[in-house]
Amino acid sequence: MIPAATALPALSGAGQAPCHHGEILQGVFLDAAGRRCAALVTLPMAGPGSSAVFVRRPGTEPEALTVAPADRTKAARAAVLAVAECARRTGQPPCGGELRLTGEIPVGLGMGSSSSDVIAAVRAVADSYGLRLEPSTVAGLAVRAELASDPLMLGGRPVLFAQREGRVLEVLGPALPPLVVVGCALGGGKPVDTLSLPVTEVGDGDVRAYERLRALLRRAVATGSAELVGAVATASARRGQRVLCHPEFESLTALAHRTGAVGVQIAHSGAVAGVLFDPAAPGLRRRVRGCLRALDAHGIPATRTFTTCATTPEEIPHHGPAHRGVDRPAGPDTPRRPARLPAL
């Protein structure tokens, strides 16, 4: 290690990443070679996200890397991996540094909080090297750091993403049809321990059913049909019930039907859920108000009502000074909350 008196100057970089609102579709699908792959399609949501700053200390040992808050161990692993990748690309020796994360994504609701931290950390490290890593590289590093990653590095396009392999099985189209989402938290917003969930056997019939939903979602995107998106999301959520067993599920689907929603979506690894409306349907405000009253009547806490919008990877903030003013930064040093989403 270089003595402090002759240490090289520190170099810093910044990175950001969004979150999502759970999945529209998740299951087991066939890739181009006919091999089974666990994969998912997430529902994009603007707003909460993770921000990272990485201060690189050239001349220090790679193991001398700290993270704050200290419990963000996945992000720390991602930073170490990103340093090795960026050092290799620039011909510099790997070094240590300090990673600092801030954000306002609740933990345990299935909104991709850990993936957001990991991706923001990778982007901050790359920015400290003056690099912008391609999404496929970011995806690979994210999977190595946390074993499975959400596709937050790919922007808002609807993609079928193999979360344990970090690769896209299919780009379903340029953007989801516009939706109005009335968000809520099931189970009182209690975090879900995904590692404790039972593992279910997936048979050939299950794979065929998932492939039918995949084709239906592809058609929904091609035709701009919010109704078809709702049908896919509801069917996927119903299949997820075999593992998650949310007691409010039947009430949620019933109130969605009564208020004229096109369907419901539920995070397959958390408690966040959404009632989906077609913004072009008549009486939208009345329907949304009725949905909020019905959620309250059933004791299901409403969280955030938002609309989806067409975004492309180029419009998603990535990292560094070139993107300042484009993204919506997370609150300063906001601790991770175990439950509610910030309301609009």
d(CA 183, CA 180): 9
What would the mean pLDDT of 103-127 be, rounded to a whole number? 93
pTM: 0.85
What would the mean pLDDT of 226-240 be, rounded to a whole number? 97
Residue 71 included in any domain:
yes
Residue 252 included in any domain:
yes
Checking if the pLDDT of 333 tops 60, the result is: no
Residue 40 included in any domain:
yes
Residue 92 included in any domain:
yes
125: nearest Cα among 72, 69, 73, 86: 86
Checking if the pLDDT of 312 tops 90, the result is: no
What would the mean pLDDT of 324-339 be, rounded to a whole number? 33
* Cα atoms in the Cβ-side hemisphere of radius 13 Å centred on 281: 20
- Here the tokens at position 191 are 């975090």
What was the pLDDT predicted at 198?
66
Residue 67 included in any domain:
yes
Residue 16 included in any domain:
yes
CB 274 within 8 A of CB 264: yes
CATH number at 145 reads 3.30.70.890
Strand 65-68 relative to strand 96-103: parallel, antiparallel, unpaired?
A: parallel
One-letter amino acid for residue 16 of the chain? Q
pLDDT band at 194; cut points 50, 70, 90: low
Percent of the chain with pLDDT over 90: 76
Q: How many domains does the chain have?
A: 1
Residue 330 included in any domain:
no
Three-class secondary structure assignment of the chain: CCCHHHCCCCEEEEEEEEEEEEEEEEEEEECCCCCEEEEEEEEEEEEEEEEEEEEEECCCCCCCEEEECCCCHHHHHHHHHHHHHHHHHHCCCCCEEEEEEEECCCCCCCCCHHHHHHHHHHHHHHHHCCCCCCHHHHHHHHHHHHCCCCCHHHCCCCEEEECCCCEEEEECCCCCCCCEEEEEEHHHHCCCCHHHCCCCCCCHHHHHHHHHHHHHHHHHHHHCCHHHHHHHHHHHHHHHHHHHCCCCHHHHHHHHHHCCCCEEEECCCCCEEEEEECCCCCCHHHHHHHHHHHHHHCCCCEEEEEECCCCCHHHCCCECHHHCCCCCCCCCCCCCCCCCCCCC
Question: pLDDT tens across 152-183, in order?
Answer: 999 888 999 999 999 999 999 999 999 999 99
CB 193 within 8 A of CB 271: no
Residue numbers of the domain that contains 146: 4-323
Question: pLDDT tens across 29-85, in order?
Answer: 999 999 999 999 999 998 789 999 999 999 999 999 999 999 999 999 999 999 999
Residue 338 included in any domain:
no
By CB atoms closer than 10 A (0-12, 13-18, 19+), residue 6 is exposed
pLDDT band at 328; cut points 50, 70, 90: very low
